[in-house]
């Protein structure tokens, strides 16, 4: 039974998939063969053979339905396909016999050519299945040798030559089939190796995301809390420089991680209702200090037709706009930058097509640079990279994000005349109504912070301390469960990856207790995969806070958690 299963294994499916693109060619050859047969042999024989060919193609089409729909196949379905292929070959073998027995030398040569074509098809398409190779190739080979042995009108020595030639053709076909299988297996092995390498890359990026975001969380978190203190102007400037440097490093890290997500098809767009004009204003103001240092002005013009509230992904739009404006600032010295925002109706009456054009009077670009502009890791030249910094990923990622949002990025530029980069994306006019969670001031809320990294716990405590929150700390899930047995909390902030007991298992155990089933559990994450995010939600986590933690986002998340009765 196991041997039979091997003969009807996935190799049959592979042959089916590889043969599907030949349908149009097969139908054309069948129609032409039927017409020639009717013309030269006779209408009755030609018509009868045409019916046989049509039934064979119909059988193959019907039995290949699972493969056409990329559905799993059963052994019974594969057996049905093999039977259909066998019938198709019987039909073609019958045409060979008809041509060979016609008595005309030209038709005999046509019969040999037809058998050679069947052998070529066998080695090209059926070599992945021993059974189909035996049926298609073995049948054609046997008929070819038999015809050479029984050929009339040839001397015995001539028949020997014909048989030897036929055997050479069959041997070469068999060798070609074996080579095809070996090459195919090598390709499959290379693909599997590439998939393993891609998985290893994803694991490495996830690890690097966690390892780099953790110290960044400390740097940016402490910088944010310091801005709440009464500082001298000099110290405040230094704190702002620390925060700016940290956010620049975070932006570079996000570029690399986003590129990996895009290439894996895992970058998602999360639209919410937001003020597009206000977002653009914030991004412009963020770039003003550096522009002012270079003697460059930035002006923002928002067309009055732009609605105040649109539904889009503010994080991704901000990322795209920040890339465009920062590039304009980099390449403009003592010039002007104009950011113009406009919109036009999209084909869908519920949506708008937003256009953000960033024009500068900078150095501009030549045709060669423009051709490389959207390629990852590409910059104008080595001198440009040293002078302006960056990874060369910004515009590549911006275009890909724009594509995901139903838009694109276009560039017009000339050397010495500046550039205009236009971002377009689609957004909705209004959001589907949904219940909004009422906020409850974070003041005096009881918060349990669970993280194996002491600095992370201290950063969260420093951010929430000015609000009067009562903070308790635990270094792993097991310690957190012990605290929850003796103390009451309004919200738990828990890291995803921890030794002893991770956040996932701890959340499951929290939800297993009736009195804690409504306790908000927010995941502190330095970057997790979509599968891990889904697992966190399934375990009972109610929200996510990305590291490095933004103080406003943290406070807003805690405020959304209702105060629980003691």
Give 517: exposed, middle or buried? Use CB within 10 Å, 0-12, 13-18, 19+.
exposed
Per-residue pLDDT at 133:
86
Residues of the chain under the 70 pLDDT cut: 1-6, 202, 205-207, 209-210, 248, 260-261, 263-266, 376-394, 430-442, 527-530, 565-566
Is residue 320 a contact partner of residue 402, using CB atoms and an 8 Å limit?
yes
CA distance 71 to 81: 14
Per-residue pLDDT at 266:
66
Q: Which sequence spans correspond to the domains of the chain?
A: 2-153, 206-263, 272-428, 446-559
At residue 356's C-alpha, the angle toward residues 352 and 360, to 5°, is 165
Per-residue pLDDT at 433:
43
Q: What is the CATH number of domain 272-428?
A: 3.30.565.10
Q: Is the peptide bond preceding residue 92 cis, with omega within 30 degrees of 0?
A: no
**Which residues pair with residue 421 across a beta bridge?**
358, 411
What would the DSSP string read from start to end of 24-73?
HHHHHHHHHHHHHHHHHT-HHHHHHHHHHHHHHHHHHHHHTHHHHTT---
Element (H, E) at 521: strand 521-525
What distance, in Å, lies between the first and last C-alpha atoms of the chain? Answer: 67
**What is the DSSP-derived secondary structure letter of residue 449?**
E
Per-residue pLDDT at 2:
44
Q: Is 416 left (phi over 0), alpha (psi -120 to 50) or beta?
A: left
Nearest to 48, CA basis, from 33, 34, 60, 32:
34
Helices (H), 101-135: 105-125, 130-133
Q: List phi, psi (to 5°) of 347.
A: -55, -35
446-474 residue pLDDT tens: 999 999 988 889 889 988 888 889 999 99
Q: Which two tokens stand for residue 479?
A: 């310690």
Is residue 337 a contact partner of residue 426, using CB atoms and an 8 Å limit?
no
Q: Which two tokens stand for residue 244?
A: 């700016």
SS3 397: helix
- Among the four given CATH numbers 3.30.70.20, 3.30.390.50, 3.30.2130.10, 3.40.50.2300, the one describing domain 446-559: 3.40.50.2300
Per-residue pLDDT at 5:
57
- Beta-sheet strands, E only, within 166-296: 272-274
Question: How many residues would you count in the chain?
Answer: 566
Query: Biggest alpha carbon distance in the chain?
Result: 112
Per-residue pLDDT at 4:
53
CA distance 178 to 172: 10
Cβ contacts of residue 219 below 8 Å, gap of 6+? 242, 246, 548
Q: How many C-alpha atoms does 423 have within 13 Å on its Cβ side?
A: 29
Q: List phi, psi (to 5°) of 144.
A: -60, -45
394-433 residue pLDDT tens: 688 888 889 989 899 999 988 888 899 999 999 887 644 4
Per-residue pLDDT at 382:
45
């Amino acid at each position: 039974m196991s041997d039979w299963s091997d003969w009807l294994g996935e190799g049959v499916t592979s042959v089916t998939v590889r043969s599907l693109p030949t349908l149009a060619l097969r139908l054309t050859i069948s129609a032409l063969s039927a017409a020639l047969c009717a013309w030269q042999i006779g209408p009755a024989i030609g018509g009868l053979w045409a019916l046989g060919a049509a039934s064979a193609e119909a059988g193959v089409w019907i039995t290949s339905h699972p493969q056409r729909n990329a559905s799993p196949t059963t052994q019974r379905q594969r057996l049905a396909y093999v039977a259909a292929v066998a019938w198709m070959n019987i039909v073609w073998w019958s045409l060979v016999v008809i041509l060979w027995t016609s008595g005309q030398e030209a038709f005999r040569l046509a019969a040999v050519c037809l058998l050679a074509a069947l052998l070529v098809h066998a080695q090209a398409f059926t070599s992945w299945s021993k059974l189909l190779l035996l049926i298609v190739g073995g049948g054609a080979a046997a008929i070819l040798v038999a015809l050479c042995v029984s050929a009339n009108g040839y001397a015995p020595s001539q028949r020997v030559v014909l048989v030897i030639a036929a055997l050479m053709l069959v041997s070469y076909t068999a060798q070609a089939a074996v080579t095809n299988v070996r090459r195919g297996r090598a390709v499959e092995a290379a693909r599997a190796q590439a998939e393993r390498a891609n998985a290893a890359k994803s694991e490495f990026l996830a690890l690097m995301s966690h390892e780099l975001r953790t110290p960044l969380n400390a740097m940016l978190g402490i910088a944010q809390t310091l801005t709440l203190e009464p500082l001298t102007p000099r110290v405040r400037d230094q704190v702002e420089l620390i925060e700016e440097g940290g956010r620049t490093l975070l932006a570079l890290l996000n570029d690399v991680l986003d590129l990996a997500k895009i290439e894996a098809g895992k970058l998602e767009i999360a639209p919410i209702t937001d003020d597009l004009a206000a977002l653009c204003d914030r991004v412009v103001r963020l770039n003003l200090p550096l522009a002012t240092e270079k003697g460059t002005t930035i002006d923002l013009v928002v067309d009055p037709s732009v609605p105040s509230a649109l539904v889009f992904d503010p994080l991704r739009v901000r990322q795209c706009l920040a890339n465009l404006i920062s590039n304009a600032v980099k390449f403009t010295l003592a010039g002007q930058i104009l950011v113009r925002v406009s919109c036009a109706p999209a084909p869908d009456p519920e949506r708008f097509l937003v256009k953000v054009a960033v024009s500068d009077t900078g150095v501009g670009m030549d045709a060669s640079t423009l051709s490389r502009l959207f390629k990852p890791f590409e910059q104008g030249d080595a001198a440009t990279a040293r002078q302006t910094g960056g990874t060369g990923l910004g515009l590549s990622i911006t275009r890909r994000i724009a594509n995901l949002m139903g838009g694109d990025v276009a560039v017009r530029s000339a050397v010495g005349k500046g550039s205009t980069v236009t971002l377009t994306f689609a957004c909705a006019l209004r959001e589907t109504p949904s219940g909004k969670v009422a906020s409850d001031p974070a003041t005096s809320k009881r918060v349990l912070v669970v993280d194996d990294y002491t600095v992370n716990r201290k950063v969260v405590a420093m951010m929430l301390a000015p609000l009067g929150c009562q903070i308790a700390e635990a270094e792993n899930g097991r310690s957190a469960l012990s605290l929850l047995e003796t103390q009451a909390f309004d919200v738990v902030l828990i890291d995803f990856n921890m030794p002893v007991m991770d956040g996932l298992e701890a959340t499951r155990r929290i939800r297993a207790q009736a009195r804690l089933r409504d306790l908000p559990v927010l995941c502190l994450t330095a970057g997790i995969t979509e599968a891990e995010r889904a697992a966190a939600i399934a375990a009972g986590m109610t929200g996510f806070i990305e590291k490095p933690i933004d103080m406003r986002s943290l406070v807003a998340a805690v405020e959304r958690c209702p105060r629980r009765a003691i």
